[in-house]
Homo-oligomer: A and B are copies of this chain.
Amino acid sequence: MNAIATIAPAVDIAPLRGFVTSFAELLSGTRDEQAVLDSGHALLQRLVSRDDWLPAAYAKPSAERYQQYLLHCDSRERFSVVSFVWGPGQSTPVHDHRVWGLVGVLRGSERVEQFERDGAGRLRRRGEAEILEAGSVDSFSPRTGDIHRVSNALADQASISIHVYGANIGAVERATYAEDGTEKPFISGYANTTLPNLWDRSRK
**A97→B8 CA distance, assembly (Å):** 34
**A202→B68 CA distance, assembly (Å):** 13
| Interface stretch (choices A120-128, A135-143, A189-197) | A189-197
A168 at the interface (CB under 8 A from B): yes
Q: Assess whether B75 is in contact with A72, with CB atoms less than 8 Å apart.
A: yes
Known A75-B24, A76-B24, A77-B21: A197·B202 in contact at CB below 8 Å: no
Interface centre among A57, A79, A194, A199 (most CB of B within 10 A): A199
Q: What residues of chain B lie closer than 8 Å to A202, measured between beta carbons?
A: 170-171, 187-190
A23 at the interface (CB under 8 A from B): yes
9 additional A-B residue pairs with CB within 8 Å, beyond A20-B75, A194-B195? A24-B75, A73-B199, A74-B75, A75-B79, A80-B199, A170-B202, A187-B201, A194-B197, A195-B195
A200 at the interface (CB under 8 A from B): yes
Among residues 95 to 121 in chain A, which have CB atoms less than 8 Å away from a CB atom of chain B?
none
Interface range on chain A (Cβ under 8 Å from partner)? 35 or more
**A118→B203 CA distance, assembly (Å):** 36
User: When the two chains form the complex, which single residue of B77, B171, B193, B201 contacts A170, counting CB atoms closer than 8 Å?
Assistant: B201
Q: Assess whether A193 is in contact with B197, with CB atoms less than 8 Å apart.
A: yes
A30 at the interface (CB under 8 A from B): no
User: When the two chains form the complex, which single residue of B20, B70, B198 contacts A197, counting CB atoms closer than 8 Å?
Assistant: B70
**A74→B74 CA distance, assembly (Å):** 7
A28 at the interface (CB under 8 A from B): yes
Proximity bits, A32-62, B CB within 8 Å = 1, else 0: 0000000000000000000000000100000
Q: Assess whether B25 is in contact with A76, with CB atoms less than 8 Å apart.
A: yes
Cβ-closest chain B residue relative to A79: B75
Q: What residues of chain B lie closer than 8 Å to A195, measured between beta carbons?
A: 194-197
